[in-house]
Homo-oligomer: A and B are copies of this chain.
């Protein structure tokens, strides 16, 4: 069974009553509940645990990691970022959520700033499936709506995705590449835009469906480990 670790910064839920009212047990609990319903084996980890809850043992026992962070990206220790980075390249899947676009681990994997435009106005968003045949779109209609969401808009400073699955339409006039697939080393990465902390987005059925699909996709077999280095004998040595 696919083993998922749901990581969350877990700060605003405790400091901001608006967020705390929506997610009294933390965003990670809502994400984890959705994934458990979808049949995954789920644990959670948060910033203020030792090693941010991401020990070597935890990562070794994780097939897919989901990541939510916002106000404390800088507090994630560099050596933990390195550890997660190595695990992704070695085949662990990674689902980066919403404001996680600015996390150290996503920037590290993308090689770009991952900057974007944004606006907090509780706008209506409609997400369109532009790659219907991708496993992450399974079970979705042609589009789905989030009644209130923070606007995330282009430009979005990422490498062109290997596959672009979702494009977001915002009431205020913007569009956004909201569902982006990448392969890095043996690991699969999915960036998924919805998830602002002041709206109950992780209870939304289609958002949960996308996250579950993304976990399933990112957990697929990643091939044998790669052997690098000096290959002294030519394979075609006479």
Contact = CB atoms under 8 A, between A and B. Distances in A.
Interface residues of A, number: 75
Contacts of A123: 234
Nearest to A229: B117
B155 A132 contact: yes
A235 B123 CA distance: 13
Contact of A226 (B89, B155, B159, B222): B155
Contacts of A115: 226, 228-229
A236 B230 CA distance: 25
A55 interface: no
Interface in A164-188: 164, 167-175, 177, 182-188
Most buried by B among A118, A126, A175, A221: A175
A173 B164 CA distance: 19
A111 B110 contact: yes
A129 interface: yes
B132 A173 contact: no
Given A175-B169, A235-B126, A235-B173, A185 B112 contact: yes
A143 interface: yes
Nearest to A223: B132
B175 A167 contact: yes
A89 B113 contact: yes
A184 B118 contact: no
Interface of A: 89, 91, 108-113, 115-119, 121, 123-124, 126, 128-135, 137-138, 140-143, 151, 153-157, 159-160, 162-164, 167-175, 177, 182-188, 220-224, 226-232, 234-237
